[in-house]
A and B are shown apart, each in its own frame.
Chain A
Amino acid sequence: MYDGWDDERLLTALSEAMKERQAVPSWFVETAKNAYAWHNIDAELAQLTYDSNID
């Protein structure tokens, strides 16, 4: 459905996409990125549980 977009329409859509990204404050993105720290912690805790199990 987007194949039929002419150049002008595509550029308008691209412009909107860029504006949407620019509207997001940097702290918002940082907070989201930092949440991944919990993934590592969860994974290592799982390992910890496993290790304790075989003691």
Chain B
Amino acid sequence: MMTGKNDDAASSREDSFLAELVPQVAEHLAEQHAGDFDADAGRTRFLTWLAAHATELAAPAKDPAGTDYAKSAGKVPDHGPSVTAPVTPLTRGNKSALNDSSVAALVTHATQGDQDAWYELVERYAPLVYRICTRYRLSSNDIEDVEQNVWLLLVEQLGKLREPAALPGWLATITARECLRVVTAAHKTERQGTGLDDSVVFVDDTVIDQEILAGERNAVLRAALAELPPRCQQLLSMLLSDPPHSYAEIHAKLGIPVGSIGPQRARCLDRLRRSSAFAALGEDEIRIDIRGGEPGV
């Protein structure tokens, strides 16, 4: 199904993507078969597969924030319209039918091809990856490179993680490593160019450890919040907004009598404490400490 035929831009994108990918695939297949491989049959089979996925692969990457996605468009195929929905962690109604929302369960589901599980992992831990990137004071372009590598590595390693529950620590370690690589490379270039020796940001391991703890705690709290009934989510997000809404505004918006807002707030927070996500908080923190050397994969 080649839907891009009438569209020159899409066609040329497909062509360049093919030109880059086909030899890689051929090499990959030949390696797998160590000589015992019909290259023509393999190539035909791959092209058939590719044609069946042309729409998905050729879809231009979305550009929600005016960022230049051209370089990543050839690297990471976009899913098309399915991923363009605005991200609203508190009210998203598309939570997948995941009964067990623990990190380990999400990793297992994502390994088995459950895209919603992957999205949920991203929702939870993208902020952790991002906050570590900002610690290294990288530019937007560098951040994009770093995160690209981090997530692609995770996709690759999904089924091989030795301890899926320790994913936050794994992500943080990989992110720190990638950030350091970028920073060090920039530093070298700078020294060769100008002889200046400053502005390198090295971030201490203990800082990264703190970031992991904070990032993990925040992820759990957001997951716990998302578990609450919509009523509680609305009330708490109005109370948590910056600046917080007044009780009068909350009454006007949600119809809760002003005198009931305090008690309802307390009930919602109690529910949050009893949520399964919140219960996991203590356990996960114990298992985070996997840092040092190469992360376990």
| Interface residues on chain A, size class | 35 or more
User: In the complex, which of the residues A30, A48, A53 contacts B83, with contact meaning CB atoms closer than 8 Å?
Assistant: A30
| Interface residues on chain B, size class | 35 or more
In the complex, A55 Cα to B63 Cα: how many Å? Answer: 43
- Cβ-defined contact, B155 with A42, below 8 A: yes
In the complex, A26 Cα to B110 Cα: how many Å? Answer: 21
- Cβ-defined contact, A11 with B144, below 8 A: no
Tell me if B282 is interfacial: C-beta within 8 Å of chain A.
yes
- Cβ-defined contact, A52 with B42, below 8 A: yes
| A13 and chain B: residue at smallest CB distance | B221
A 1-55 contacts with B by CB, 8 A: 1-3, 5, 7, 10-11, 13-21, 23-45, 48-49, 51-53, 55
- Cβ-defined contact, B65 with A26, below 8 A: yes
In the complex, A21 Cα to B214 Cα: how many Å? Answer: 12
Given known A31-B76, A48-B49, contact A14–B64 (CB-CB < 8 A): no
Residues of B within 8 Å of A24, CB to CB, are 126-127, 130
User: In the complex, which of the residues A18, A44, A55 contacts B41, with contact meaning CB atoms closer than 8 Å?
Assistant: A55
In the complex, A33 Cα to B242 Cα: how many Å? Answer: 28
Tell me if B236 is interfacial: C-beta within 8 Å of chain A.
yes
- Cβ-defined contact, A13 with B127, below 8 A: no
- Cβ-defined contact, B217 with A17, below 8 A: yes
In the complex, A14 Cα to B281 Cα: how many Å? Answer: 14
* B 28-51 binary contact with A (CB < 8 Å = 1; else 0): 110011000110011001100100
| B65 and chain A: residue at smallest CB distance | A27
Given known A21-B222, A29-B122, A48-B29, contact A35–B148 (CB-CB < 8 A): yes
Please give 7 more A-B residue pairs, beta carbons under 8 A apart, in addition to A17-B217, A28-B147, A45-B25: A10-B272, A16-B218, A21-B127, A21-B218, A35-B151, A35-B154, A52-B29
Nearest first, the 9 closest Cβ-Cβ pairs linking A and B are A35-B151, A17-B218, A17-B221, A27-B65, A27-B67, A32-B122, A36-B118, A26-B64, A37-B77
